[in-house]
Amino acid sequence: MTERKNSNKKSSSGKESFTDTGKTRLNKFLANNSEFARRKIDEMVLQGRVTVNHKLILEPGIQIDGVKDDVRLDGERIREKTKKTYILLHKPIGFITTTDDEKNRRTVLDIIKTQEKLFPIGRLDIDTSGVLLLTNDGEFANKLMHPRFKVEKTYIVNLSRPLDEKIRLKLAGGIKLDGKKTAPAKIVFVNKDAYDVVAITLTEGRNRQVRRMFENYGFFVRKLHRSSYGHLTVDGLKAGEYRKLTTQEINKFTNK
């Protein structure tokens, strides 16, 4: 592709700005065509890591042409993708949730057989199993992870000892982690005669949040399994198996 001429001009502030011929916001284009969510993209632009037609850009919301403009992130050309892929994986224990690992541990991408460059939506610990979504659609990932959309995620938790009602209510109401209170959660006992196994439903996803919430009261999490992500479950999938999401399943998220 040749560089588009006369596509930029100086704004009154002296910064580079681009005409509205592309009809795509820079941050949206990058989120849709990279492994990063919109908020992370905004940070990268402000850090001076993005160029358009070889011009440094510091405004995430400028309009660009995703086909004609030369958009680069850390010097790498970002091209518009035509095929969006959405995968539901029953993550097994022993795999890390990342695209690569410097310690050469097994990643969830070692399980997926595809030529598409996918990335996980959120993370599950190496010792946590259950629902994990992977995609190449950054905008879709951003919507599912953003707290504003309050996508519910349910985990089955096997505890080292029975959970008493007083602590259950405290955890459900929210506790402070890293100086910030957690959002209200739903916590119910899976079996009415077993108080060491609970289901907890969250609408946020802080680092190791479930384990840390229970560890705050001296509980050790023996086993952790994410049983659902929004309306999706791993029913019918054995650990390590995966499938593509249906159009209907995708639309239930995007039409909210």
Question: Which residue among 125, 127, 137, 178 is the active-site one?
Answer: 125
Residue 175: pLDDT over 60: yes
For 235-247, what is each residue's pLDDT tens digit? 999 999 999 999 9
Q: Which domains does the chain have, with CATH numbers?
A: 8-77 (3.10.290.10), 86-146+239-254 (3.30.70.580), 152-229 (3.30.70.1560)
132-144: average pLDDT? 89
pLDDT tens per residue across span 202-232 = 998 888 999 999 999 999 999 999 999 999 9
Is 69 part of the annotated catalytic residue set? Answer: no
Residue range 51-66: average pLDDT? 92
Query: Which pLDDT does position 11 carry in this prediction?
Result: 39
Tell me the average pLDDT across 167-195.
94
The model's pLDDT over 63-119, given as tens digits with 9 standing for 90+, comes to 998 878 899 999 999 987 768 899 999 999 999 998 888 888 999 999 998 888 899
Q: What is the 3-state secondary structure of the chain?
A: CCCCCCCEEECCCCCEEECCCCCEEHHHHHHHCCCCCHHHHHHHHHCCCEEECCEECCCCCCEECCCCCCEEECCEECCCCCCCCEEEEEECCCCECCCCCCCCCCEHHHCCCCCCCCEECCCCCCCEEEEEEEECCHHHHHHHHCHHHCCCEEEEEEECCCCCHHHHHHHHHCCEECCEECCCCEEEEEECCEEEEEEEEECCCCCCHHHHHHHCCCCCEEEEEEEEECCEECCCCCCCCEEECCHHHHHHHHCC
